[in-house]
Every structure is written in C-alpha cells, then in structure tokens.
Structure 1
Amino acid sequence: MSLILFIVAYGIIGHFILDNGLGGSKDENVSDSKNEILFLLLGIDAQDSENEKGARTDTMMLVKVDLSNESVNVLSIPRDTKVNIDGRSGISKINAAHAYGGPELAVKTVKELLGLNLDYYVKVDYTIVEEAVDKIGGVEVDVPQDMYYEDPTADPPLVIDLKEGKQVLDGQKSLQFLRFRKGYKDADLGRIRAQQQFIKAFIEQALRPKNLVKLPTMVPSYYRNVDTNIPMSSLTKMALKARKINTDNITLNTLPGDGKWINRVSYFIYNKTEMDAMVRELFSEYIY
C-alpha cells in the first residue's frame, strides 16, 4: 500500500512539486551519480500524521528503487515478526518499534534484523490511499474471501464488509480491503498477498494516461500524510524517472518464515537461513 504512494505520489506528485518550485531547488545535487535508493516504507493506521505518535505500523516494506533499469524490489515484513527492539527488554513484534521510537527506531530494528545499511524511511497513513483511489476511478481486485469485521475503537472506527470475488473498489472499500487482517487462514501472510495484489492493480490503473494528469491535485494531501527523511536531491532523480516503472519491473517478496504461538501471543518466526539468502539476492550491495 505505501509502495503505491511512493512510486506514484513521489514519481508524479513529486515531479509536479519540483516543476513548480514547491519542494526546494532543482539544482540541489541532481548530478549525484547514484542511481538507486533503499528505504523502509511504513504504513500507519491513523487518520493523519498528527495522530501517528505512539502508533504501531500496520504495514512495513523494505524497498529498493533502481533507476538504472527502472526496477523495484520489495520485501514485505509481517507485522508480527518476532524481534529484539533496542532499548526494550524481552521479545517484541516488529510493528511496535515505531510506537516505541518513531520511524528512526523502526529503521534501526529492520537494519539490525536484516544486516543492511539502511538510513531512509517513508511514512504514509491510510488517508492518502483513499483519496488516491477515488482520484483514479477505483481499483479492480479479486477479493479472496468474504471480509467482515467491526472495531468501533479503531482510529478511525473500522467497519469492513466486502464480498468475495473480482470487483472495482472505491477509496473507502479499498481501505477496508487493505485493513482487513483478522480472517485470513494464514494470518498476516494472507494479508500481505492481498496488499501485493492491490499494489500492482493500483499502479496499472494510476499509470493510465487519463489518470496521470489527476494525481498532481493530491499535493495538499501529500504534504499532510507523507513523512520522509530522503534528501531532496534523491527525490528529484526519482521523480524524473519513477513514471516509467511498471508492474513488470516490480518484484514483490515476503520475509520467509511461519506463524507460531508463544505464551498465547501470535508471532511470525522468520527463517534466518532463507532470509539471509533472500537479502543477498535482493539487496547484496547494502549488506554490512
């Protein structure tokens, strides 16, 4: 979900911002020869950025964008992944890192888990997803099962009611689809597959010519709902080329492992051997 907004919002909206002088100088280190970037995508289940302090991440993806071949490698990290978080005693779920120390601690936790040189993050909340989907006229997905769930205490309150089958989801129903997590037989792994299906469907729809011209109108929402520490020089380069990326150039992966109950708490236990092999394949140049 957050990946959608980085590729499309930064690639298209970011290009608009730069063209109109809204994001800083175009000349700022644009000659930088590095043609790729690694960053952590953090999806926050909150109404806007002001309500995100202390929130757990709802989605976490490690992303490498390679501008030289216009490709993207993504590693989805299940929210229940069992890890040690710096400054906390005992074991934790990786989605708690943001709640304890913001995006900086989330980055550090993933960096130590995977053994990678990782500095950058992009944090997005769900509000901008709803707006983006409505702007492009909805997204067609194949809902894998009936989805029903209510949580009046959620922020915002959550009511999910979707029927199984292929259908076009508007922004509000897309939020339901992305936020549903209680009913998958294989827990968070099923949810990740659904999110990855949605990512590809959204990008295909958003990159249609009739929709490219609509996305710059989302600039105000972009500023309200996106937070990143990526330098403007890197954003400049990415904005100029990101529109060329298509679903054929996007590789979606999931951290290998299995679910396990520990003291009546559900965790995702990663397979270190398979994880290390995947990291070498996808992110070898960033291994420390």
Structure 2
Amino acid sequence: MKKQFIAVFMASLLIFGAFYGILANTVFKDDTAVASDPEQIEDPSQDKEPVEEEKNDILFLLMGVDAQDIDESEGTRTDTMMLTSIDLDTGKISILSIPRDTRTTVQGRLDKINAAHAYAGPEYSVEVVQNLLDIDLEYYVKVDYQIVQDVVNSIGGVTVEVPFNMKYRDPTAKPPLNINIQKGIQTLDGKNAHDFLRFRHNNDFTVGYPDGDVGRTKTQQYFMKELVKQTMKPKNLLKLPMLIETYFDNVETNIPISVMLKGALAANKIDVESMETATLPGEGSYIGGISYYIHNGTETEEVIRTMFGNYLVD
C-alpha cells in the first residue's frame, strides 16, 4: 500500500485558521480595534493596489500533500483535493471532493490529477482544477498530515462512529503505520484520527470500503463535519492560542489575510448541520492497466452549477 495522506482541516481552515493568523497579529498584541475592521488589516504579502469588489463568499482548493512536513512537500502528489466555499452571508459551507485518481489533462497529456502538484506545485494544481471544472478559481490551501494530529489533540479528541474494525500495518511507510481502531463509537486522539482517515483496507484486503476511494472520501467528509462541529464548542474555542503554531507550521496558502478575516468574522453564522458535501461524479476504470477515476462531464457540470454557480467561467 502506498503511503497516503488525508488532510482534514478543510472548511475549518478559514474559520479557525483565520482566527489563528489574525489573533496572532491583533488580539494577542492588544490590537483588537484593528481586528474588527477588515479594511484596516494590511496584508504585507499583497501589493497596495486598488482591490476589485470581492464576492460574498470564499472559494479555495484544499490540498493534502503526501509529505511529513509542508516545507518538504515539493515534488509530492496530493492525496486529497477538496473544492471548498464559504458563503459569508449565510455561513453555508460547500465541499466537492475530487478523487486523486481523476483522469484529466496534466502538462499536455492525460494523467491523474494528483500529479499536478508533483510537476509544478500548488498554483498549477489550481490551474488544472480550474480547467477541469470550468470555474474561476484563485486560492489554495495546502496542509501536511501533522496538522490532523495537532488539531485533534488540541481539542481533546474527536468522537466518531467507526464503520468497521480497522487494522493495517506498514512498517515501511513514513511514518510507519500501525492502525488498530475498533468498530463503533470512538473518541479518537490525534494518531487514531490520522489512522482513521488513512485507512483503506486491511493487509489481506478482506476489510475495507466496498466502493474504494469514494467510500473513503465519504469518511473524510463525515469526519470533517464532526471536527468542525466539535471544535466550535465554547470550551474548544478557548484553546485557539494552542493552535497558532500548528497553523503556521503546517499550512501554506495564498489567501490574503484580508479575505481570511472575512471568513473569521462569519464564523458565528456557520451551521455544520447544513454543510453541503459531494464527490465529483464518475466511476473507476482501468486504462492500460492503470486505475483511473473517470468523471462524468454532464453530471459534473450540474453539480458545479448547483454548488459553485457564481464561479462558473462565462
């Protein structure tokens, strides 16, 4: 089994990640007056040029990289791709999972979509997804798998229902895998949460998701909802300072601070129960002995129109 990485910071990144970055530079420096006004936040990474009127939602591509450290992720494939939007007026979150084996054009030839990052980095991954879905996509968020353990441990674990006994060992993986999670309601610590999301099947293939990576994607979406819901509890909001270092150590993004702040200010509108999730329509297929995920163009167009219609390319 190839080593896999599952990123679970997903929609919570703009909610809590914005808090981490903004609070580190405002509240914790007794500068709360500035934090209350997005127009007063200066983003040193952006040139001071006239800014076009922004939409009332935020759209970004969340990528989990197959690397132990975000600084060492160059040349690695993405294991997770999720197109995510947050409506700043309603607090609605929409997430479309893009299977890593999706067959599309990468550097002029048909390849798996997760190869885009390995060839040319996160900006190129954004370009490939933009072309695949015919959407106006600008922002990305890239995380490594250490953030899973750090966030979950910081909030004291995440309670989920495990669908079956998960057991798998791979001493050659980096880090080595030793998954052993029992079926049923479990409160997972950081390691087990990471293992829960990495699991695909046991060593002899007798236990696993009947629908392969599509089933694992549904588990990711379920876990993400629970992570956001449980992190939103008042007792966990008080732990935000503990997560600041984790955010800066394990996240790379081109989202300007001013845009992230808008996401933070919309946090009180978030309704996790109404979170909209979907997977790119399609099915698995073998071509030339290689496993691919072939997306359905007609169904994909309808899903994109429904979930991200205001970002369709004219």
Look up the equivalent residue of 1:52 and give its one-letter code: S
2:249 to 198, 214, 224: 224
Seen in structure 2, the aligned counterparts of structure 1 residues 192 and 9 have a Cα distance that, compared at 3 Å, is same
Normalization by structure 2: what TM-score? 0.85
The answer as to 2:118 corresponding to 1:99 is yes
2:209 to 184, 198, 201: 184
2:87 aligns to what?
66
1:143 aligns to what?
162
2:98 aligns to what?
77
Look up the equivalent residue of 1:34 and give its one-letter code: K
Q: How does 1:107-146 map to 2 (within 5 A)?
A: 107-146=126-165
2:78 to 57, 77, 91: 57
2:304 aligns to what?
279
Aligned-partner Cα distance in 2 for 1:240–1:19: 14
2:190 aligns to what?
171
For residues 219-247 of structure 1, what are the alpha-carbon distances to aligned partners after superposition, in whole Å with 9 as ceiling and x for unaligned? 11211100000112101211222243131
1:153 aligns to what?
172
2:88–2:263 Cα contact (<8 Å) kept: yes
Identical aligned pairs, as a percentage? 46
2:233 aligns to what?
208
Give, in angstroms, the shift of residue 8 of structure 1: 4.3
Unmatched tracts of structure 2, length 5 or more: 1-7, 44-50, 202-207
1:234 to 259, 268, 271: 259
Q: How does 1:26-41 map to 2 (within 5 A)?
A: 27-28=40-41, 34-41=55-62
Secondary structure of the equivalent of 1:259?
strand
Look up the equivalent residue of 2:118 and give its one-letter code: A
Secondary structure of the equivalent of 2:136?
coil
Give, in angstroms, the shift of residue 249 of structure 1: 3.4
1:3 to 1, 7, 10: 10
Give, in angstroms, the shift of residue 120 of structure 1: 0.5
Give, in angstroms, the shift of residue 5 of structure 1: 4.2
Secondary structure of the equivalent of 2:10?
helix
1:12–1:216 Cα contact (<8 Å) kept: no
Seen in structure 2, the aligned counterparts of structure 1 residues 137 and 166 have a Cα distance that, compared at 3 Å, is same
Aligned-partner Cα distance in 2 for 1:177–1:192: 12
For residues 10-37 of structure 1, what are the alpha-carbon distances to aligned partners after superposition, in whole Å with 9 as ceiling and x for unaligned? 2432342242478x98614799653211
How many residue pairs match? The answer is 286
1:8–1:206 Cα contact (<8 Å) kept: no
Aligned-partner Cα distance in 2 for 1:33–1:117: 13
Secondary structure of the equivalent of 1:190?
helix
Aligned-partner Cα distance in 2 for 1:17–1:244: 22
Tell which deviates more after alignment, 218-227 or 182-191.
182-191
2:269 to 219, 236, 244: 244
Unmatched tracts of structure 1, length 5 or more: none
